[in-house]
Amino acid sequence: MTAQLQYTAAGDGHVVLLGDEVVLIGRARDCDLRFRDDATMSAHHARIVRENERHWVETLDGSDEMLVNGTATQRHHLRHRDRVQCGKTVFEYFDE
């Protein structure tokens, strides 16, 4: 299975396939995953990067809050079924 994020926005389910490219998450126009209606998310809130064959999620500003499985963090190695919350949006990571 290809690594992917799943999330719901505006009542619709979404799947994003993850590869080697950086995925930028936030409200700004240049974000790959844009959530302009989520006032609790910053313009450039977080990003997903691939390093050493693993995906990592990290905040882009130390003041942005990100929760992984309910715990606040700035950077996290993603594992199968991890739940990442940026603003009000919750993503689930799959890689099996």
- Kindly tell me if the per-residue pLDDT of 6 is higher than 90: yes
Give the chain's largest Cα–Cα span: 35
CA atoms within 13 A on the CB side of 88: 10
Closest CA to 25 of 36, 34, 13: 34
pTM: predicted TM-score of the whole model, two decimal places: 0.91
- 53-96 confidence digits (pLDDT tens): 999 999 997 677 899 999 999 999 999 999 999 999 999 999 98
